[in-house]
Amino acid sequence: MATKTCSKCGEAKTREEFPSHSKNRDGLGCWCKLCHYNHTKKWRKTGRGQLSERKRKLKKYGLTIESFDALWTSQGGVCPICNGVLARVGNKYGVDHDHKTGKVRGILCDKCNVGLGSFKDNPEFLHKAAAYLAVKQ
């Protein structure tokens, strides 16, 4: 019977004791099911779930949950660029901010936030891109 060594506990275990993981070469997870279960249980118990990730994201930009909620409400829960509905679940939004000053400008959908970042927050690049699209259509 083939075995695999768990990278967490270091024990050699049967293949059945590992969860499946399609991205790994052998199709199995690196940690055994027991280590994975214990890690997940501890992670949930210490409050490092989605809410904590949201708090860390807001802290990075100097926002409180209340100020974030106020900004979200003032935007009507939509991205001010594409008017797409923002999704709070899974943190599928970006806190738009000035990279020089750190000042928060608003909350954008991930795609618009990445787009602004790709154009280095430079209005001239955005105008050129708009002109390019207008000519090419």
Q: Report the percentage of the chain scoring pLDDT > 70.
A: 91
Q: Where are the domains of the chain?
A: 3-45, 50-136
Query: Residues 62, 55: contact at Cβ < 8 Å?
Result: no
The closest of 50, 98, 103, 94 to 72, measured between CA atoms, is 94
pLDDT digits (tens, 9 = 90+) for 60-90: 899 988 898 899 999 999 999 999 998 876 6
Secondary structure (3-state) at 90: helix
Give the span between the Cα atoms of 46 and 52, in whole angstroms: 10
pLDDT value of residue 35: 95
Query: Is residue 134 very low, low, confident or very high in pLDDT (cuts 50, 70, 90)?
Result: very high
Query: Is residue 91 very low, low, confident or very high in pLDDT (cuts 50, 70, 90)?
Result: low
pLDDT value of residue 53: 65
Strand-pair category, 104-109 with 12-14? unpaired
Domain 50-136 in CATH 3.40.1800.10: yes
